[in-house]
Each structure stands twice: as C-alpha cells, then as structure tokens.
C-alpha cells in the first residue's frame, strides 16, 4: 500500500502536462529526448512518403514522367507533302508506324489520299485513357480533298497504299414520263 511519502506532487495545468510528467517519471530525461526526436523524425518521414504517394497516384504514377502527352519518333515529311493530323480513337492499327505508307479514308470508307506517317502522338484523355493522333504527310495535290473530308467527318488510317476509287458521273434519271403500253394480244390458234 502506498505511503504518503512515496507520492510525488506534479504541478500541471493541463492533461497533456500531466501525461508528459507521468512519462518522465519512468524514463530518464536524456533518454526521453532521444525517443521524442526519433518519434518526431519517423512521423515526419512517414508524412512525406504519404504526400509523395498521393502525388504519384494523382499524376499517373510516373509512367511518362507525370506529363500528359507522349509521342513516337518523328520522321521528316517527304518533299511535296504537308503533315496533317488524323485522329485515331483508342488504338493505332497494326502496321501504322512512323515512315510507313498508309491510306487515309473518309467516314464512308472511301479513299481520300495515301501518305507517309511522320509521327504518332499519344495524349491522355478523360480517366487516363489514351487517345492517339497519327500525323500523315499528305501530298500537296490531295491537300484540298483531305481538308474537305476532315471537316465533313472522321478520318481513318489503314496500313498500306490502296488505290483511289475512280468516280464516274452518271446522268440523273429522266423525269419525263414513259407511257405504259399494253402487252400484245396472243395470236389466235
């Protein structure tokens, strides 16, 4: 049973001071400072690692340095051509790569032009999903039809060179009425 002489009086104003004084009674003062420094250092280091983890998760985890765009090697456009962007949704078709010959088609699948891929750009869209843009060197003589097809709708890229479809003009059907004649009567037998 404790005796009055064994009790220690603590002059404390708050609960934290009481807990701090209680801890100090069991551990010498020099060791207490060493443990406090270690606890402070380890807590600070854990906090910094937590912040670094959150930043890495938010910015994409370091797959491309935290940036939002990547691109393949760039090939010079041949003489007499102009580089033009062709948006290719979520994947680039197999065989479409820099320096490859490709065919550009319109929304209806008709051949617009053929050209050489000069670059493939990758950008991250909503939710981190990649979107690709194929840069095609379009011959100057096909530039106007290319721009017209691009403004009319989505363009597609196919590996290899496909021949352009020949267009033929046909006259519209006649609007004059054609009289219907009765069939000839059968011959009497």
- Which phi and psi (to 5°) does residue 139 adopt? -60, 145
Q: What is the distance between the alpha carbons of residues 45 and 166, in angstroms, rounded to a whole number? A: 71
Q: What is the distance between the alpha carbons of residues 80 and 137, in angstroms, rounded to a whole number? A: 9
* Per-residue pLDDT reduced to its tens digit, 31-45: 567 777 788 888 989
- Length in residues, the chain: 189
Among residues 53, 133, 128, the alpha carbon closest in space to that of 89 is found at 133
Residues 6+ apart with CB under 8 A from 138: 81, 82, 83, 84, 104, 113, 115, 146
Q: What is the distance between the alpha carbons of residues 117 and 5, in angstroms, rounded to a whole number? A: 93
Q: What is the pLDDT of residue 89?
A: 66
Q: What is the pLDDT of residue 107?
A: 80
Q: What is the distance between the alpha carbons of residues 101 and 97, in angstroms, rounded to a whole number? A: 9
* Per-residue pLDDT reduced to its tens digit, 123-167: 877 677 788 888 889 888 988 888 888 888 888 888 888 887 654
């Amino acid at each position: 049973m404790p005796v009055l002489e064994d009790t220690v009086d603590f002059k404390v104003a708050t609960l934290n001071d009481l807990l701090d004084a209680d801890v100090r009674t069991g551990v010498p003062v020099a060791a207490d400072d060493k443990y406090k420094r270690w606890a402070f250092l380890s807590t600070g280091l854990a906090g910094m690692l937590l912040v670094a983890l959150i930043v890495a998760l938010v910015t994409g985890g370091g797959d491309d340095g935290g940036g939002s765009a990547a691109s393949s090697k760039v090939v010079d456009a041949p003489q007499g051509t102009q580089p033009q962007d062709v948006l290719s949704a979520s994947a680039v078709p197999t065989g479409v790569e820099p320096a490859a010959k490709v065919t550009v088609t319109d929304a209806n699948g008709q051949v617009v032009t053929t050209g050489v891929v000069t670059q493939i750009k990758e950008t991250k869209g909503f939710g981190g999903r990649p979107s690709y843009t194929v840069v095609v060197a379009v011959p100057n003589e096909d530039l106007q039809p290319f721009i017209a097809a691009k403004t009319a709708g989505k363009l597609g890229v196919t590996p290899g060179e496909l021949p352009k479809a020949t267009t033929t003009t046909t006259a519209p059907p006649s609007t004059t009425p054609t009289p219907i004649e009765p069939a000839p009567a059968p011959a009497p037998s």
